[in-house]
Chain A
Amino acid sequence: MGETVGNLIGLNDEVIHPAATLAVEAHNSPSKQFLVKKIKIRHDYSSVVVLAFSGSMFPDDWFGQPPFGKTKIDTGNFPSLTSLNDGGDAVVNGSFLRRFNGVLDKLSHAKELKEAIEKKRQVVFSGYSSAGPIAILATVYFLENRTLSPRCLTFGSPLLGDRIFGHVLRREGWSDYFTHFVMKYDIIPRIMLSPSSTEQEQILNYFKSKFDRKNINPAPPSGFYLTVVGNASSVASYEACHLMGCRNPSLDIIKSFIELSPYRPSGTYVFCTGNGNLVVVKNPNAVLQILIHCAELGESNTAEVEKRSLDEHSAYLSELKECLGMQAVVSLDGGPATATLNDLGLSPQAMLCLQAAEEFENRRSRNLEKIRNYLEKIEVELEMLRKYKGNAQISRLGYYDSFKLQNEDDDFHANVSRLEIAGIWDEIKEMLKEFELPDDFEKKPEFIEIGKIYRRLVEPLDIANFYRHRKDKETGPYVIGRGARPKRYRFAQRWLEHDENKPFGSRSESCFCAEVEQLGIDIKEKGYLQEIKDRIHQLERNLIAWIGDESLDDDVLLENSTFVKWWRDLPLKCKSESDRIENLIRGKADRL
């Protein structure tokens, strides 16, 4: 006990209410794109700069192309917002992204932000209702830029991004910077889980006339609750099936006939239970379940709840004032606690869903432990391969070529080691594709490092095996970014490139021999086309760079290696770096 909301979300409690007040004020000031306010913290005399965005209740600013108005994030402004395991780029609501792009220019020139950066002040982006997603995007934008380390507070915000969006925030360790306050019945945080419909338009029009104050008491719409919450419930049940490990294959077939909303919660959620208590939840799957289950109808009739779902959207300031005074806060992340759930009015079925969400996280931790236990085994096999490589160098053939010949006992043992590690690594690959490992797995230095070593040491063997059996005839060439190249290597390469902030493909040194082999085949089939010459030149430049930074082992330069033999046979006019590479080859021969 004694925890305050501020403690749990890593922000001073004194900031929250002023940030909410500014957010509501800014939302209703469409003439200004955002409002800025400096808040003095009493106990340590520091200042926090709050920047709150304006909102819009025009349906066009909420829903683009039906049914869900989704769009791929632009990875120019948001380079991290993509999956490293074949899941593609993050998807967000296109209308919200468009509105963010509209304020971006002014935002990046805001003098208040420049000053905050200079004086190292904490910046908080804040947004109420439709301004919530803008605050989220602004926060991600500056986290990507690394000029600022802002926090984000939203109040009654609609959902913005899909599962990949949340996955990336957690992968990058940014998730804790986002806090979303949600009232128990507020319809707006649930609205994006339902496809666009006339019901939703009615809701927005109602708020629009209410906020415009042209109409003091607009007539509230009715009859929307079943549609909106029903559709949202479909999403929650689908996710619950996954959390519960649904083993009925018909689920996938059914899913292909139903278009469910792509949007999912991300960041920390703080639920206001309505009786002054606050429930803090970080597990994104638990958040989704609570969002739906606590909005379910109880004893009271539909009309009553429906009205409440509208009223609560404009009750944040008063509710927060009470809650922040009481600081009756419970965190749900130690597992669902009974008393809290009764505050939220959850059913036994909801309890099962929450337990499943908790168990899903536990399963991911267990999987991580399992993979960690493999590391030792991987290391043993890698050590065997290092020795093999050393011996092959002594024989002056290089381990790529000796492995390709498969003549010696050592080559066979190396092949067994290769398969041993491939089994483990394929298991990791499958777990990643199914999100069965913690989100930050691909950012963990130990795995990036072992992935790098593994790739450089073992991938040449896979390539040797591939071209030894001329598998390109069956599967097409071994290509760096797709095709026959095993995904385990592609994934490991992406982790490293992402970690080093480099574009995809820049770290394909482990595929060097594949390009050599493929060029050999392509030249035989097509002759020296311009495209082939370009590839040769690129290969030569890569070789020089990779030998230079030692990412590529220099035994490709051995006199008898596939590369040297092939390259020396090339007509001189096809080479662009003849002298430098000759020097490298001679240098290698001299060192031996």
Chain B
Amino acid sequence: MKRRRMNQVPLFSSAGEQAKMLVTSNLIDAAWAKIPELQRGQSALPSSVQTMIDHPTPNSTIVVFAPLPDSTQYPLPQGGDLVPYPDFDFLGTKEWPSVSINRAALTLFESLKNHLYGLKTELNKREGQLIITGHSLGGSIASLFTLYLLSSMDKESKCRPICITFGSPLIGNFALQHSHWNSFFLHLVSDKDPLPTLFLSSGRSAPTSSHSQATAYKPFGTYLLCSEIGCACFDDPDLILKILTVASSEVAGGLLQVVDYGEILRNLKNRAICKGPQLAGERFAYPFSDGIVMELKTIGIDPAKHNIDTTRMEAEARTLAKKTKASDAKELNDIKKYMVMLEWYKKKSKEANKCYYDCFKNGDFQRDVRIEEFMGQLTTYWEDMVAQAERKPQKEGASFRTAWFQSATTFRRMVEPLDIAIFYRDGGRDYINNGRSPLYKLLEKLYDEAAKNTTREGPDSKNKKVSVLLTDDSCFWAHVEDAILSCQSLNHANSTPEQRESSWKNLVEFGKYVTKQIENFAVSPEIFLEQSSFMKWWRMYEASIDAFRNFYTSPLVNFMKSHKYDDYGLPEEA
């Protein structure tokens, strides 16, 4: 029995309306019209797939790929298995890092590569609308070529592409579901066409080693699925795969049937302005599920019979519907608010002549309790951003991260010291190897990569306002804590000479590290506040030097002993 909670708002499925909008517009006709035209023309390339380029208006370009109608001279390549294709690894996501492509499509694509490279160079110069279209294996080439083109396009590109294929086989194992690129692909498939699932079924029938690969085919883009009586648009890969599989199992006759997409489009256009036999009837009590059942039945799928869970689809749609631009705007301001709270905490600590790190570690202020709440909110927010980036293909994920990585860096430098404080307060040792969360590791890795790629003007200039700066290395305090532990080990009565030697070595290393930070103005002057953990370490270290290694000296020791830090970070006198 269907149940809907009273407070839930009705949802709708727009799969049918989107399909109707497409077939009543001229976009798909314009794409299809070029295919028979290309097939009638002279073949220009020594290949089973031909291509041409046309400019219907000065501001639009159409690129067409179609197989030769007569394939005796150049037979279409065979091969339903997936072949790893590292050239397309820019499509890899965290879940699907390496990309494999259908062998037949890849063979064709490789054989045309010289030609396609020239075409890409030409298209990169153009502005305006770009339609890339193709039929059957030509459509596979159209898709691969579009991906190839997208990978080299920058944000400023004035060229807007869309790829429209007709009855093309599935291409590869990569997932574009969470990618912006997904919306550039539109695949028209008739329920009478066996070709789209051709490789899928061949992979299935042969339970060889390629079996697991063959079933790893993943649809991407939007599918416009059509039957005699109507059409519907879907973009959920699992649902599309299911529908395609059902359709292919019901296609009679197999391969020989040739599907005329021109005729299909004409029929759908007429259907679009017909009411159909039924009149409206009652209001729909469950518009989403009632709607989607109607839409699926239109394309020959019975959700009950084919085990399609419309309740789950509705639940997913409901989650998506909650995220709006308005709710995003609110969230962004909340995140800013939490950061302001933390900045204030840091400032208040400094006024009390302490580092916020130490204040938090010792629980000096009452407001510390809420600080943990803000840390939690901020961490969740950034974990979500990182996860979003990881679901996108590598290249797109990278540019998505560029947009926010500055804020993420500030977050890491502000919040990680607090996590370090908790770690050592609770008796932890060696935070970097035992306590550091994957989020911080990843954010730091991103920062290092970005720093490598941007030409920096050497170490930050002295004019930089060091006084308001956050310490560059968000793990600075972890190093300090470990140095304190080393000092303790050095001084401990029960320590073996080996332990002492190793502790001393650690301390020398730490000294070098701090010197470098100071030279680069990369640490906040707050670390020199009288009660900071760093000064606590220095006093212990100074005592150890006197006790164990009299006359030991280093740049840091000089710096500290001569109180040079009193001037550190002060504005230079003019």
How far in angstroms is the closest Cβ of chain A from B76? 29
| A419 touches which of B24, B272, B333 (Cβ 8 Å) | B333
**Which of B182, B273, B290 has the most CB atoms of chain A within a 10 A radius of its CB?**
B273
* CB closest residue in chain B, given A415: B340
Tell me which residues across on chain B come within 8 A of A336, comparing CB atoms.
Answer: 280, 283
Q: Are B321 and A245 in contact (CB under 8 A)?
A: yes
- Number of A residues with CB within 8 Å of any CB on chain B: 69
Q: Does A310 contact B (CB under 8 A)?
A: no
Q: What chain A residues lie within 8 Å of B162 (beta carbons)?
A: 253-254, 257
CB distance from B146 to the nearest CB of A (A): 12
Q: Contact at B129–A338, with CB atoms within 8 Å?
A: no
Is A335 positioned at the interface, with any CB of B under 8 Å from its CB?
yes
Q: Which of B14-22, B188-196, B451-459, B549-557 lies at the interface with chain A?
A: B14-22
* CB atoms of A347 and B131 under 8 A apart: no
CB distance from A479 to the nearest CB of B (A): 21
In the assembled complex, the CB of A425 is this many whole angstroms from the nearest CB of chain B, namely 9
Whether A430 touches B14, Cβ cut-off 8 Å, given contacts A247-B317, A254-B162, A352-B291, is no
Contacts of A230 in B (CB 8 A): 24, 269, 272-273
Indicate if A484 sits at the interface (CB-CB under 8 A).
Answer: no
A165 to chain B, nearest CB (A): 22
Q: Mark A226-264, 1 if CB is under 8 A from B, else 0.
A: 100111011001101101111111111110111010000
- Grouping DSSP codes into helix (H, G, I), strand (E, B) and loop, the B interface class, with mixed when no group exceeds half, is helix
- Is there contact, CB below 8 Å, between B280 and A351? yes
Residue of A nearest to B333 (CB): A423
Task: Encode B493-525 as 1/0 by CB contact (under 8 A) with A.
Answer: 000000000000000000000000000000000
Query: A123 at interface (Cβ–Cβ under 8 A)?
Result: no
Of the candidate stretches B94-102, B244-252, B322-330, B392-400, the one touching chain A is B322-330
Bound Cα distance A346, B278 (Å): 9
Which of these, A233, A422, A430, contacts B20 with CB under 8 Å?
A: A233
Q: Which of B151-171 contact A (CB under 8 A)?
A: 160, 162
When each residue 278-321 of chain A gets 1 if its CB lies under 8 Å from chain B and 0 otherwise, what string results?
Answer: 00000000000000010111100000000000000000000000
Secondary structure call for the A interface: helix
Contact A237 B20 (CB under 8 A): yes
Q: How far is the CB of A374 from chain B (nearest CB, A)?
A: 10
A246 touches B284 (CB 8 A): no
The 0/1 profile, CB within 8 Å of B marked 1, for residues 117-154 of chain A is 00000000000000000000000000000000000000
Whether B280 contacts A347 by the Cβ 8 Å rule is: yes
A260 to B21 alpha-carbon distance, docked (Å): 10
B294 within 8 A of A: yes
Mask of B273-284 contacts with A, CB within 8 angstroms, 1/0: 111101111111
A351 and B337 form a contact (CB under 8 A)? no
Q: Which residues of A contact B294 (CB under 8 A)?
A: 348-349
Given known A-B contacts A230-B269, A297-B273, A347-B278, A423 and B334 have beta carbons under 8 A apart:
yes
* A228 nearest in chain B by CB position: B273
Residue-wise interface mask of B (259-303) relative to A, using a CB-CB cutoff of 8 A (1 in contact, 0 not): 000000000011011111011111110010011001000000000
Which residues of B lie under 8 Å from residue A362 when comparing CB positions? 9
Is residue A341 within 8 Å, beta carbon to beta carbon, of the partner chain?
yes
Interface assignment of B180: CB less than 8 Å from any CB of chain A: yes
Contact call A248/B276, Cβ cutoff below 8 A: no
Tally of contact residues, B, Cβ under 8 A:
67
Find chain B residues with CB under 8 A from A433 CB. 325
Closest to B22 in A: A254
Name the one of B10, B18, B332 contacting A248, with C-beta atoms under 8 angstroms. Answer: B18
Bound complex: CA of A592 vs CA of B364, how far in Å? Answer: 40
B559 is an interface residue with CB less than 8 A from chain A: no
Residues of B within 8 A of A225 (CB): 273
Instruction: Verify if B543 is at the interface (C-beta below 8 Å from A).
Output: no
B325 to chain A: which residues have CB within 8 Å?
A: 430, 433-434
- Residues from chain A with a CB closer than 8 A to the CB of B287 are 352, 355-356, 359
Q: Are A246 and B280 in contact (CB under 8 A)?
A: no
A329-386 residues with Cβ-Cβ distance < 8 A to B are 335-336, 338, 341-342, 345-353, 355-356, 359, 362-363, 366
Residues of A close to B11: CB separation below 8 A: 245
Q: What's the nearest-Cβ distance from chain A to residue B543, in Å?
A: 38
A416-B337 contact, Cβ under 8 Å, with A237-B18, A245-B12, A348-B294 = yes
Residue of A nearest to B341 (CB): A416
Shortest beta-carbon distance from A274 to chain B in Å: 15
B414 at the interface (CB under 8 A from A): no
Query: How far is the CB of B4 from the nearest CB of chain A, in Å?
Result: 14
Given A338-B280, A426-B329, CB of A355 within 8 Å of CB of B24: no
Which residues of chain A are near B328, meaning CB under 8 Å?
Answer: 430
A-B contact pairs, 12 of them (CB 8 A): A230-B273, A237-B17, A243-B12, A244-B13, A246-B14, A257-B27, A293-B275, A297-B275, A346-B279, A346-B280, A427-B329, A430-B328
Known: A252-B183, A427-B327; 4 extra A-B contacts, CB below 8 A, are A234-B20, A243-B12, A256-B129, A359-B287
Interface positions of A (Cβ within 8 A of B)? 225-226, 229-231, 233-234, 237-238, 240-241, 243-254, 256-258, 260, 293, 295-298, 335-336, 338, 341-342, 345-353, 355-356, 359, 362-363, 366, 412, 415-416, 419-420, 422-424, 426-431, 433-434, 436
